[in-house]
């Protein structure tokens, strides 16, 4: 069985500061990894995904994530955040089967302060 | 418009009533999913479907029923709603390697 741990439930940060949202996963098989963002009262939007190849993945809105197989991590980073980045971020893992059935972490709320 | 839609967006019901949440996608994706979102739990999989007439349980299936007579529709039914089923429900479908989500249905069971 797979599981995902998002190590911080909330991350407060000032505008224009860098941020890292941490994600660790466990799985006995190869996986796909995803980060989704959810703005208040909205659905989930894909930020970025790791399927194979380069371990550094770039996504939308200036976000990037690095896949580290030895540490089973997939941390999300942004060098300079904006107020508009305030949202909840979900890390998810898929075992590449069953239509990419996802297992989600509990989410991290990013609060960007001015 | 192409995409995935859910209806209703908001629903209030009473304990013991039957409720059906609708999900429709226009991409002809084979796989469709239902998740529930609760504070502190992220999203948890209720049921999924690999194709019309093929469904399977996810992590939290108890109290829910699904059907899939057509590829584009995947309704979720709460046969006898309970307060613990108060949640936000998301439908999703999978393209080549990415899952796309609907806007969600906020269900309150009184």
Quick one: residue B28, left, alpha or beta (phi over 0 = left, psi -120 to 50 = alpha)? left
Closest A-chain CA to B99: A100
Contacts with B, A 60-89, CB within 8 Å: none
Mean pLDDT calculated for residue range B25-30: 92
Task: Give the chain B residue whose CA is nearest to the CA of A31.
Answer: B97
Residue B50 has pLDDT above 70, yes or no: yes
Q: What is the pLDDT of residue B83?
A: 97
Give the gap in angstroms from C-alpha A78 to the nearest C-alpha of chain B: 22
Segment B65-93 shows an average pLDDT of 96
Looking at residue B1, its pLDDT comes to: 58
- Higher-confidence residue of B2 and A16: namely A16
Task: Tell me the chain B residues in contact with residue A101 when contact means C-beta distances shorter than 8 Å.
Answer: 31, 33, 45, 48, 58
Q: Does A44 touch chain B (CB under 8 A)?
A: yes
- Residue B14 above 80 pLDDT? yes
Query: According to the model, what pLDDT value does residue A34 have?
Result: 95
| Helices (runs of H) and strands (runs of E) counted in chain A | 0, 12
Out of A85-89, B6-10, B26-30, pick the least confident.
B26-30
Which chain B residues are within 8 Å of A106, Cβ to Cβ? 40-42
Write the CB contacts of A82 (distance below 8 Å, at least 6 apart in sequence). A15, A16, A112
Q: Which residues of B touch A (CB under 8 A)?
A: 30-31, 33, 35, 40-45, 48, 50, 56, 58, 90, 94, 97-104
Profile chain A (114 residues) by mean pLDDT over runs of 10 residues: 92 97 90 93 92 92 94 96 96 82 93 96
């Amino acid at each position: 069985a797979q599981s995902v741990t998002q190590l911080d439930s909330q991350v407060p940060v000032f505008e224009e500061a860098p941020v890292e949202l941490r994600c660790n996963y466990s799985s006995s098989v190869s996986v796909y990894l995803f980060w989704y963002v959810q703005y208040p009262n909205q659905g989930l939007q894909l930020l970025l995904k790791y399927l194979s190849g380069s371990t550094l993945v770039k996504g939308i809105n200036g976000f990037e994530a690095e896949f580290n197989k030895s540490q089973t991590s997939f941390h999300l980073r942004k060098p300079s955040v904006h107020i508009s980045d305030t949202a909840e971020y979900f890390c998810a893992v898929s075992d590449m089967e069953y239509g990419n059935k996802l297992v989600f972490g509990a989410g991290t709320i990013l609060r960007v302060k001015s | 418009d192409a995409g995935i839609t859910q209806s209703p967006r908001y629903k209030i019901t009473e304990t013991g009533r039957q409720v059906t949440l609708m999900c429709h996608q226009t991409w002809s994706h084979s796989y469709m999913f239902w998740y529930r979102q609760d504070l502190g739990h992220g999203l948890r999989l209720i049921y999924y479907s690999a194709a019309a007439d093929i469904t399977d349980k996810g992590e939290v299936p108890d109290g829910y029923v699904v059907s899939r007579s057509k590829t584009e529709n995947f309704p979720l039914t709460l046969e006898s709603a309970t307060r613990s089923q108060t949640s936000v429900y998301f439908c999703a479908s999978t393209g080549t390697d990415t899952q796309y989500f609907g806007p969600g249905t906020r269900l309150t069971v009184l």
